[in-house]
Amino acid sequence: MGKVKQAIVDVHEEVADIVMSRTSLERGHETVSLPEVQTILFKKYWHKNNNEYFLNEDVVIEAYKKAIKQLEEI
């Protein structure tokens, strides 16, 4: 797998983990919002130079939509 494709897969996995871990019964099954996910990723990756895709808005939005769709299928 190419570096770019693997980097995008990594973003999708990270976003899915965030969505799953932040959706809880305590919040009434309230799902984490896209801006919250973007903030989490920014705080975690802004100082790292190894994967700019975690800060790429288009990639994160695509990953968020996919994670929400998977969550709804559960």
Residue 5 banded pLDDT, cuts 50, 70, 90: very high
Cα distance between residue 49 and residue 17, in whole Å: 21
How confident is the model over 11-63, as pLDDT tens digits?
Answer: 999 999 999 888 765 555 678 899 999 999 999 888 876 668 888 999 999 99
Whether 53 and 10 have beta carbons less than 8 Å apart is answered as: yes
Record the pTM: 0.85
Residue 24, amino acid: S
Residue 9 has what pLDDT? 95
pLDDT value for 26: 54
CB 1 within 8 A of CB 10: no
* Integer Cα distance of 47 and 19 in angstroms: 22
